[in-house]
Amino acid sequence: MNAIDFRELPFSSKASICWSFLWRGLAITIASSLAGALLGGIAGALLGFALNMSGVPQSSAMSLIQIVGGLLGLACGVFFLSVYVRWLLSAQLGKFKLLLVNAAEI
């Protein structure tokens, strides 16, 4: 297995690799945004309803809902980042494939 310098590749190979990263990144961004919004909306509605029924003041409830929504958004982002990395490592990028090797062996 030979290491290849990206700078030495022909333009068509560079474009193919960049396109592979770009469209997968866009797909993951859209999926992460939709999942975060959906989970945040559902959790916010349920939490807001429960807090309202228990008599928690609206200002306190809103703060708690924002914190929970932010944490759910963070969790979705981390999850989809791991999906993106696994996807890139298993995908063929043009005529190439990413492989992990021990840096000490290079």
Q: Does residue 105 fall inside a structural domain?
A: no
% of residues, the chain, pLDDT over 90 = 65
Q: Does residue 17 fall inside a structural domain?
A: no
The count of structural domains within the chain is 1
Q: Does residue 69 fall inside a structural domain?
A: yes
Looking at residue 51, its amino acid is L
What are the DSSP calls for the chain, one per residue? Answer: -----GGGS-HHHHHHHHHHHHHHHHHHHHHHHHHHHHHHHHHHHHHHHHHHHTT--HHHHHHHHHHHHHHHHHHHHHHHHHHHHHHHHHSEETTEE-----GGG-
Q: What is the pLDDT of residues 48-93, one digit of tens each?
A: 999 999 998 988 889 999 999 999 999 999 999 999 999 999 999 8
pLDDT of 89 reads 94
106 has a pLDDT exceeding 90: no
Q: What is the pLDDT of residues 17-35, one digit of tens each?
A: 999 999 999 999 999 999 9
Q: Does residue 86 fall inside a structural domain?
A: yes
| Structural domain boundaries, residue 67 | 27-90
100 has a pLDDT exceeding 90: no
